[in-house]
Amino acid sequence: MLLSNRVAIVTGGARGIGRGIALRFAEEGSSLAIVDVLVKEARQTANEISKKGREEVFIECDVSNSGQVKDMVSQVITKFGKVDILVNNAGIGPLPKSITDISEEDWDRVLAVNLKGVFLCFCVLRQWCPI
């Protein structure tokens, strides 16, 4: 198994690509932290990981919020003792409409999750596990 004894955080792990990555990592032996704001779907993904015999934890977290990201990383370190892999997958898109019809608030939210979220997860994790 490629990822035996590894711990991975997958943001946006509730569904789609993040879910696929998390399930594949579990098949390869990784323990996982599923991080998302979609509680029901994330718990389903975590349950599937558990059924594969892997350790998992679901953590509800908005990656655009530095306090929530700090708490999430702390919970992962407390549970697993380390983090080996960070998959910064969380992302959202604007509503399906013309760029000229997107509000400034919608645009700010997209940038906060898609860009700031990656930055925060990396920076907070780096404080715990310097590279």
DSSP secondary structure letters along 27-58 = HTT-EEEEEES-HHHHHHHHHHHHHTT--EEE
Q: Is residue 2 part of a domain?
A: no
Q: How many domains does the chain contain in total?
A: 1
Distance CA 19, CA 44 (A): 10
**Residue 92: domain span:** 7-128
pLDDT score of 98: 82
**Residue 1 forms part of a structural domain:** no
pLDDT along the chain (131 residues), means of 10: 94 97 97 98 97 96 96 96 96 81 89 95 82 50
Q: Considering the domain boundaries, does residue 110 fall inside one?
A: yes
Q: Is residue 14 part of a domain?
A: yes
CATH number of the domain bearing residue 123: 3.40.50.720
d(CA 63, CA 84): 19
In this prediction, residue 129 carries a pLDDT of 62
pTM: 0.93
- The two three-digit tokens of residue 37, written as one number: 């704001």
pLDDT value at residue 127? 82
> Does the residue 47 lie in any domain?
yes
Nearest to 36 by CA among 79, 69, 74, 7: 69
pLDDT at residue 102 in the model: 86
